[in-house]
Structure 1
């Protein structure tokens, strides 16, 4: 399945059928990547571009060079996503000057499923502050094969059983947890106890209590914890935030944010996504979290109440354990209302519309890896800013690397991830009781935090005057 067709199943983190870690290791063998398949896998990678060319890298078929930050180069014939595929200028990461390869922080990727292979590992070619230094997998042969392709030393290969030995590897600074949701807590805690900073995939964990334990483990070991909210680094999303903050749409009254896809039960990642013990929930945890998180960062406020309904067809075996369709309404302190949906049984859609007193704004898609667009319309004129695509994965990894190097707090902190899980639990409670549920939380974040760290953000105000 292509990334553009099935964005939701790209995080195929070595599919499993049981929360038991021993069976998790056994289940991973089914995802073994054949040697001849690596080339096509790279073709689906998040875009590389002019900014990813590094001195000494191997030259690809289009004349560009690709270096993964550790001296390794891409196989022959690997090139960036063509401009025709994205409809945008070739992506670059031009916000930050790259540091010398030996000054980049070493990363270990924990879990070598489809998402890691097709998106995260190739993204190191775009990174300016991060390099691939380790791999963690339940399949030793698979890990060695990928390590050879990416120039990872044998000493940087670990299994889930000996993962704790990563504490002895000074070449690895950060671990990226790309595993089924129920395993996020265990490997985040073990990573922090091993002295490594942690980037954990969303959703952070199935419960608020697990999130709190993850935060405490990183705090107790003086390690940084970040949750992988890549949209918080995506330029179209950031431009939308800036337009709202600068008053371009006026006072926001209403948001409509939707996330849907038709989940293929035969896809390897669907096997754990449809298992409640591993996933924590269904479409809400997996893709509804995009709608929830976007509502929060677009408004720059935290919801105080939620009302929800859940519906799953009884004759659809996919939803024996997890929910399919979720509709939830978030109430914000300023009076704005966000109407959000998530679904595992609709044609792919992910979009956000913001309606204000001066104009409306729309992003569609909201959370794709590329090919975004943004529209602002005040009833008299319509603006579609020309915004350059980037590798969201490289951007979020480099953000955490810079936070470690500069000893600053990451934008998407553990508390940010826990807030989404807290609201998700309230959504489930509302759907179960049929009542409006209050969200008890004192969490808050600077509404300008995300755009303050985006020096090259386009000025949509200027474009509206042209």
Structure 2
């Protein structure tokens, strides 16, 4: 594979084989900060989705949001669960706290609605299995919201890995830190283990965890993890976490995540014949800055940013409209939860935990 060819077609949507007709009408379930600031604008900018319904605990508080998004149907959670105005949407985007994903995703599937669910899919693999089974029984599309799998930088990196441009991948280094309390109050649900299912590992570590699985196209066979919390607002969850993963190919990955460190994200893959470095892959809008070394050749690429959230909704809409199975499906979300549970077991036992 010539690196020039990859960079020349960098932003191509290789998943969009032909244009799809129509749009998928979405009910956005959970109108928190991410939904307001990132998801709703991305849906409005997308080609294959539109927001037709908002579901929230306080309908009166989203009047301005509904008007701005030109959405006429606003429901509270009880009305949504009861099936009120179900004809107004074709699919749901579940953006509630993690422990509530199953409740709303399953209710939607039982009414024949497709489901795009934020990650992690639920707070335990057992509860996530309930979502997967409900969607399978209903014959609806289920996609776990791993937006990086739809983002050009990550997709081009996977091509380079699969074409062995850097040889066999030996080491992967992934890191994601975000100073949570600079953007949220100490009573945020992300610091409540009953709602979040964990701390930095669940909220931030899942990004390198899933992205590395996607890039290597293989599963981890073992994990060793350590976690630390300084107390205070972080007393009940992991504030900082480090975990090492072993893969079927004998590659290893070393990852870190933190709720209380300078905002930063990095991803680097080192192979027998070269390496790939992606600058800031996990921060929300990937700047499309990467360096590829292959043998004696070194190339840098810097291109226009692409809104990965918009890419995610277009990908989901395209899959629904064309009957295509999404790559980040429910089983993908389940696999990450198995690894997360093993990592937390390792933090408690101090031992490596094998993964089936």
Q: TM-score, normalised by structure 2?
A: 0.91
In the alignment, the residues of structure 1 paired with residue 187 and residue 281 of structure 2 have an alpha-carbon distance, to the nearest angstrom, of: 22
**Corresponding pairs, count:** 344
**Residues 124 and 98 from structure 1, CA distance in 2 versus in 1: closer, same or farther, beyond 3 angstroms?**
farther
2:319 is the counterpart of 1:400:
no
> Offset of 1:343 from its aligned partner?
1.2
Is the Cα–Cα contact under 8 Å of residues 170 and 250 in structure 2 kept in the other structure? Answer: yes
How far 1:267 moved relative to its partner? 1.2
Higher mean C-alpha deviation, range 344-353 or range 136-145: 136-145
Kept after mapping to 2: 8 A contact 1:167/1:196:
no
Bigger radius of gyration, 1 or 2? 1
Give 2:326's aligned residue.
410
Match of 1:128 in 2: 47
Deviation track 1:166-222 (CA, whole Å, cap 9, x = no partner) reads 465323101000011111111111111222111000111110100111111111222
Q: How many angstroms does 1:285 deviate by?
A: 0.1
Q: 1:123 to 1:166 in 2, by over 3 A?
A: farther
The answer to whether 1:197 aligns with 2:114 is yes
Structure 1 unaligned segments of length 5 or more: list them: 1-90, 441-466
Query: 1:106 is matched with which residue?
Result: 25
Q: Is the 1:105–1:130 Cα contact (8 Å) retained in structure 2? A: yes
Matched, 1:143 2:93: no
**Residue of structure 2 equivalent to 1:24:** none
Once the two structures are superposed, the pairs formed by residues 215-230 of structure 1 within 5 Å of their partners are 215-230=132-147
Partner Cα separation in structure 2 for residue 329 and residue 173 of structure 1: 40
> Are the structure 2 counterparts of residues 368 and 261 from structure 1 closer, same or farther at C-alpha, using a change threshold of 3 Å?
closer
> What secondary structure does 2:77 align onto?
coil
Q: Which residue matches 1:44?
A: none
Tell me, in whole angstroms, the C-alpha distance in 1 between the residues paired with 2:299 and 2:265.
20
Does the aligned pair in 1 maintain the 2:31–2:56 contact within 8 Å? yes
Residue 335 of structure 1 corresponds to: 250
Change (3 A) 1:125 1:376: same
Structure 2 residue aligned with 1:63: none
Which whole-Å CA distance do the structure 2 matches of 1:394 and 1:380 have between them?
A: 37
Match of 1:419 among 318, 330, 335: 335
Pairing 1:307–2:229 present: no
Once residues 384 and 420 of structure 1 are traced to their aligned partners in structure 2, the CA distance between those partners, rounded to angstroms, is 31
C-alpha contact 1:226 1:414 (8 A) present in aligned 2: yes
Tell me by how many angstroms 1:307 deviates: 1.1
2:203 aligns to what SS in structure 1? helix
CA distance in 1 between partners of 2:157 and 2:14 (Å): 20
Is the partner of 1:281 in helix, strand or coil?
Answer: coil
Q: Could you tell me whether the CA contact under 8 Å between 2:178 and 2:263 is conserved in 1?
A: yes
How far does the alpha carbon of each residue in 1:206-259 deviate from its partner, in whole angstroms, 9 at most, with x for none?
A: 101001111111112222111100000111111111111111111111111111
For residues 198-347 of structure 1, what are the structure 2 equivalents within 5 Å?
A: 198-264=115-181, 267-268=184-185, 271-313=188-230, 316-347=231-262
How far apart, in 1, do the equivalents of 2:176 and 2:236 lie?
Answer: 20
Q: Say if 1:158 and 1:166, in contact at 8 Å, map to a contact too.
A: no
Query: How many Å apart are 1:119 and its aligned residue?
Result: 0.7
Alpha-carbon RMSD: 2.1
Cα deviation, 1:107-155, whole Å, max 9, x if unaligned, reads 11111111111111111232111111111111111233222222112xx
Q: Deviations over 1:414-455 (max 9, x none)?
A: 110010001000001111111111102xxxxxxxxxxxxxxx
Per the alignment, residue 389 of structure 1 pairs with: 305
Distance 1:422 1:224 in 2: 22
Tell me, yes or no, if the aligned pair for 1:360 and 1:376 is still in contact at 8 Å.
yes
